[in-house]
Amino acid sequence: SLYRIRKKCLILDLDNTLWCGIVGEDGVSGIKLGDTYPGLAYRTFQEFILECAKKGVILALCSKNNMSDVEEVWQKHSSMILKKKHFSDIKINWNSKVVNIQEISKDLNIGLNSCVFIDDNPVEREQIKQMLPDVEVPDFPSNPFELPSFFIDIWEKYFQVYKLLDQDLKKTEQYKENVQRKNQKAKFISNDDYLKSLDMQLTFMPVDKYN
């Protein structure tokens, strides 16, 4: 933790990664996430990831899914620990995950070598390894009961830091705001129109020894 360069962003899949099952097929009530195994293992995994975010790691989603299904999980599933507000960038669509991860990197203005991608699907993992070699892609455990030890290994390998600074703890909100600004700017034809839309105000005051 003293000498290792800490990764900045943890990019996560959803189905069979943050919960057991496929929400588009099983429905919100059909996915396994809760107080009994294997759902308990996935909920514990989410709790660990949330603690990771509280220690300055940026969270992002990259999932082939329907946004409406995922929104329903966030709204209705009582055991869903990771909410929409915890993610700085969200790519839930049917695009290639290679493209989505590249866009996440651009949205957050971080290098691909700052990203760790977690996905249960070995085909998706291998594609990222081949096409985006700078992204770290750990092998996902085959058994849900291995998820807690898997996370500890991820934390120690990529995210552990000797000392947390105040700016580390504010990173999630800062990067989320950057993405919001980028999305807002894309709505305008010119940069001047965008700047005007911000309604910024400039205040003049005399210079003194305090300012």
DSSP class per residue in 67-108: HHHHHHHHHH-TT--S-GGG-SEEEEESS-HHHHHHHHHHHH
Kind and range of the H or E run holding 58: strand 58-64
pTM of the model: 0.79
* pLDDT at 165 (0 to 100): 53
For residues 184 and 77, is the Cβ–Cβ distance under 8 A?
Answer: no
**Alpha helices (runs of H) in 34-190, residue ranges in sequence order:** 39-54, 67-76, 97-108, 122-131, 147-154, 166-169, 171-185
For residues 28 and 21, is the Cβ–Cβ distance under 8 A?
Answer: no
Q: Bridge partners of 93?
A: 64
Over its length of 211 residues, how does the chain's per-residue pLDDT go in tens digits?
Answer: 455 578 999 999 999 999 999 999 999 999 999 999 999 999 999 999 999 998 889 999 999 999 999 999 999 999 999 999 999 999 999 999 999 999 999 999 999 999 999 999 999 999 999 999 999 999 999 999 999 999 999 999 999 865 555 555 566 667 667 777 777 777 777 778 878 887 889 899 999 888 8
In Å, how far from its chain's centre is CA 69? 18
Angle of CA points 57, 67, 8, to nearest 5°: 15
In whole angstroms, give the CA distance from residue 18 to residue 80: 9
In whole angstroms, give the CA distance from residue 164 to residue 90: 25
For residues 16 and 10, is the Cβ–Cβ distance under 8 A?
Answer: no
In whole angstroms, give the CA distance from residue 38 to residue 41: 6
